[in-house]
Amino acid sequence: TKRYSITILPGDGIGPETISVAKDVLKLIGSLEGIEFGFQEMPMGGSALDLTGVPLPDETLSAAKQSDAVLLGAIGGYKWDNNPKHLKPETGLLQLREGLKVFANLRPATVLPQLVDSSTLKKEVAEGVDLMVVRELTGGIYFGKPRGIGTNENGEEIGFNTEVYASYEIDRIARVGFETARKRNKKLCSVDKANVLEASMFWRNRVTSIASEYPDVELSHMYVDNAAMQLVRNPKQFDTILTNNIFGDILSDEASMITGSIGMLPSASLGALGPGLFEPIHGSAPDIAGQDKANPLATILSVAMLLKYGLGEENAARRIENAVLDTLDKGFRTGDIYSAGNKLVGCKEMGEEVLKSV
Amino acid sequence: TKRYSITILPGDGIGPETISVAKDVLKLIGSLEGIEFGFQEMPMGGSALDLTGVPLPDETLSAAKQSDAVLLGAIGGYKWDNNPKHLKPETGLLQLREGLKVFANLRPATVLPQLVDSSTLKKEVAEGVDLMVVRELTGGIYFGKPRGIGTNENGEEIGFNTEVYASYEIDRIARVGFETARKRNKKLCSVDKANVLEASMFWRNRVTSIASEYPDVELSHMYVDNAAMQLVRNPKQFDTILTNNIFGDILSDEASMITGSIGMLPSASLGALGPGLFEPIHGSAPDIAGQDKANPLATILSVAMLLKYGLGEENAARRIENAVLDTLDKGFRTGDIYSAGNKLVGCKEMGEEVLKSV
Ligand SMILES: CC(C)[C@H](C(=O)O)[C@@H](O)C(=O)O
Ligand SMILES: CC(C)[C@H](C(=O)O)[C@@H](O)C(=O)O
């Protein structure tokens, strides 16, 4: 039997609830596919702050590094919102991404036929949307230096950050973008602000030069303001979107809301070597935490991405995806995706239904 | 009689067409309201490049500075897209904003009852949307230094920009935000990325401290990724949005597309002293230029903003706004906002109908 070690970071808010369900799905799929999973649960985010004083304890990072894949629930909550930067749950997440060197963040935004009514977009605009945002995750303005709050030469107080990309950072994420598009509909749209920013002009030049390695993929470029519009106007025009860290943060959230069901959307963060990081794109939803109301499907689908992108277990991944679709076909819905005529269930029951359908 | 001098910058693409119509509206309103307008047309953008070799000739900037208000059509086109940065039409626009010191960009996004079907959002989500984005326009990553394409200490090629805000820049745009909200529904939402960026933490601190001058305005804060989602989920929750240059670029375009009729949306860019700059938010639409297909209403409504915010002529402004609404009520539509049952007209005819309704 194959064996994999999985680091599990339940995190905060609804994280532990959705993780518990997703772990059961992973166990079942393992027993059915002859794969053995070893699990190690570690603290991270606000709960790690409360327990250890830091949002990403060294033990958590080193356990994660030594495992085959990392599954994260969600982090953050009102309680820690006013903490200084180095004591914010979010800082722990950035340290984890940096520590695991997961520079490529894949965020699918798909409108499932069963859930097309959840979108605030008109049915004819929303139906059939199936795009993937490939976001650079360990560079750009998130990590660039110099950064801080200080004083300028006129003695005025200033806040500043640096948007910076080196050629190797752009080249490697561009290749992930092209590879991803190649496995999809072979259309890659690189999003930047090259009419204003030098960092974007450089980005565009590098992406264009990498394109010669992928003659079968059609490359286009779009300004970020236009991309934010086009996602609302006609999201179906997009197949794969390639962009930097901050634009990817904004556009992937916009794209996910266009599907109307962000409780359904997983993500994968991958590096060149070492384990990937898999997490739902939704937050920790502190307002419904502990009430068995959370939608576990995004975390379950993150398990599918973990199997596919993290471990290369495509069969097992597909079984989970199909089980989720079957469960939706049977009419089970958590509150966030509920519509009349369906069966309202909680987090646990949704998990049990998925288990039945695997 | 009152006299005002107006610098007119027709620019590129559909700019000259919509400007010609808007100028007629301004002339008529002047004669009805006893205001005399002196017009000076100057080259700017791609047409200035072709004529003079630079996107913003010195003569254009100094004429603009000496006038009471500046009306701009649109700039840019395929022809100049691959020009080096200093020879791009967009660079001329940035130089104009900087030269006029118009740090406050007001971008309304309103869904008119007559046009609610133009939105790709469901009717119940789109109807009643009426928000204003107050975008900082002469600072941040658009203008921050250092910037460029160079080499880092490891000898790798890099592209870089600096996001930087000084306290006085934040304070003055925050005051515009609060003043704007005060005249509307007294809700100001400041958008930043303070969970990651120091420039945003500083922004949030300054905005919060300015809030004490406006106890009647309710201030909230939102992360930019969440704002991009909330604009799709429930745009009606917003009254006035305050944000920096780059986030404002993205969010105001997203908000405008949510209305479904970006051919309708004007903008005002204001400084502390000196003339304001007024322009439609749409681009130069080179694909339909010269075909009498453009929607002139955004430029006409920019004239209304010019009268209201630039010259303090609120009556004249209201007359234009009402004329536009009347024209829509009568069923006149350009192609971009056309729906069955209405009368399809070109740019000129739409202008004539507005003149009749003034
Ligand atoms: C929590 C925050 C630091 C994070 C980010 O900005 O990357 C989140 O918004 C995300 O997109 O995963
Ligand atoms: C043309 C471009 C430089 C400009 C900007 O980014 O500010 C435009 O997108 C706008 O929003 O007015």
> Among A88, A249, A257, which is best to mutate for testing ligand 1, by the most ligand atoms less than 8 A from CB?
A249
d(CA B232, CA A215): 35
* Residue of B163, B205, B337 for testing the chain A interface, max A β-carbons within 10 Å: B163
Strand partners, B355: none
Q: pLDDT at position B81, please?
A: 87
Q: Out of A88, A197, A233, name the one closest to residue B257 (CB).
A: A233
CB A255 within 8 Å of CB B277? no
* Ligand 2 contact via B93 beta carbon (within 6 Å): yes
> Among B97, B136, B249, B302, which is best to mutate for testing ligand 2, by the most ligand atoms less than 8 A from CB?
B249
* Ligand 2 contact via B254 beta carbon (within 6 Å): no
How far is the centre of ligand 1, averaged over its atoms, from the C-alpha of A249 (Å)? 7
- Using a CB-CB cut-off of 8 Å, the residues of chain B touching A230 are 257
Tell me which H or E stretch contains A314. Answer: helix A314-329
Q: Is the N-terminal amide bond of A16 cis, ω within 30° of 0?
A: no
Which one is catalytic: A225, A287, A329, A356?
A225
CB contacts < 8 A (A, B) = 182
**Does the distance separating the beta carbons of B122 and A125 come in below 8 Å?**
no
d(CA A181, CA A223): 19
Determine if the pTM surpasses 0.95: yes
**Does the distance separating the beta carbons of B161 and A197 come in below 8 Å?**
yes
The distance from CA B88 to its chain's CA centroid, rounded to whole angstroms, is: 19
> Among A83, A87, A90, which is best to mutate for testing ligand 1, by the most ligand atoms less than 8 A from CB?
A90
Q: pLDDT at position B257, please?
A: 96
Q: Out of B88, B160, B258, name the one closest to residue A163 (CB).
A: B160
Residue of chain A minimizing CA distance to B224: A250
Q: pLDDT at position A226, please?
A: 97
DSSP label of B264: G
List Cβ neighbours of A18 (8 Å cut-off, separation of 6 or more): A73, A74, A280, A294, A295, A296, A298, A299, A300, A347
Cβ neighbours, 10 Å, residue A154: 8
What sign for the dihedral angle of Cα B36, B103, B243, B140? positive
**What ligand 2 atom has the least distance to the C-alpha of B97?**
7
CB A28 within 8 Å of CB A358? yes
Compute the nearest-CA separation of A115 from chain B (Å): 15
* Ligand 2 contact via B298 beta carbon (within 6 Å): no
**Catalytic residue status for A12:** no
The amino acid at residue B127 is E
> CA nearest B148: which of B138, B157, B139, B136?
B157
Q: Out of B157, B160, B233, name the one closest to residue A120 (CB).
A: B233
Percentage helix, strand, coil for chain B under 3-state DSSP, each rounded to 5:
50, 25, 30
Rounded average pLDDT over A73-78: 96
Q: pLDDT at position B1, please?
A: 83
What sign for the dihedral angle of Cα A288, A290, A293, A297? positive
Q: Is the pLDDT of residue A72 over 90?
A: yes
Compute the nearest-CA separation of A309 from chain B (Å): 25
For ligand 1, atom 1, which residue shows the shortest CA distance? Answer: A90
Q: What angle do CA B345, B350, B354 make, to 5 degrees?
A: 150
Q: Is the pLDDT of residue A273 over 90?
A: yes
For ligand 1, atom 10, which residue shows the shortest CA distance? Answer: A249
d(CA A339, CA B318): 44
* Ligand 2 contact via B96 beta carbon (within 6 Å): no
Q: Is A216 exposed, middle or buried (0-12, 13-18, 19+ CB in 10 A)?
A: exposed
| Tens digits of residue pLDDT in A205-256 | 999 999 999 999 999 999 999 999 999 999 999 999 999 999 999 999 999 9
Could you list the pLDDT tens digit for every one of the 358 residues in chain B? 899 999 999 999 999 999 999 999 999 999 999 999 999 999 999 999 999 999 999 999 999 999 999 999 999 999 998 899 999 999 999 999 999 999 999 999 999 999 999 999 999 999 999 999 999 999 999 999 999 999 999 999 999 999 999 999 999 999 999 999 999 999 999 999 999 999 999 999 999 999 999 999 999 999 999 999 999 999 999 999 999 999 999 999 999 999 998 999 999 999 999 999 999 999 999 999 999 999 999 999 999 999 999 999 999 999 999 999 999 999 999 999 999 999 999 999 999 999 999 9
> CA nearest A257: which of A222, A282, A275, A290?
A282
- Using a CB-CB cut-off of 8 Å, the residues of chain A touching B95 are none
As a residue count, chain B comes to 358
| Tens digits of residue pLDDT in A1-47 | 899 999 999 999 999 999 999 999 999 999 999 999 999 999 999 99
Which one is catalytic: A4, A142, A214, A309?
A142
> CA nearest A100: which of A143, A64, A54?
A64
* Ligand 2 contact via A196 beta carbon (within 6 Å): yes
Backbone φ and ψ of B230, nearest 5°: -65, -30
- Using a CB-CB cut-off of 8 Å, the residues of chain A touching B88 are 195
> CA nearest B88: which of B39, B118, B46?
B46
| Tens digits of residue pLDDT in B173-201 | 999 999 999 999 999 999 999 999 999 99
* Residue of B121, B198, B281 for testing the chain A interface, max A β-carbons within 10 Å: B198
Alpha helices in A86-197 (DSSP H): 89-100, 123-126, 167-183
d(CA A358, CA A321): 9
Q: Kindly write down the DSSP assignment for every residue of B291-342, as one continuous string.
A: TT----HHHHHHHHHIIIIIS--HHHHHHHHHHHHHHHHTTEE-GGG--TTS
What ligand is nearest to the CA atom of residue A195?
2
Count CA atoms closer than 13 A to B258's CA, side-chain side: 32
* Residue of B88, B119, B232 for testing the chain A interface, max A β-carbons within 10 Å: B232
Mean pLDDT computed over every residue of chain B = 97
Mean pLDDT computed over every residue of chain A = 97
**Does the distance separating the beta carbons of A202 and B158 come in below 8 Å?**
yes
Which one is catalytic: B12, B24, B239, B249?
B249
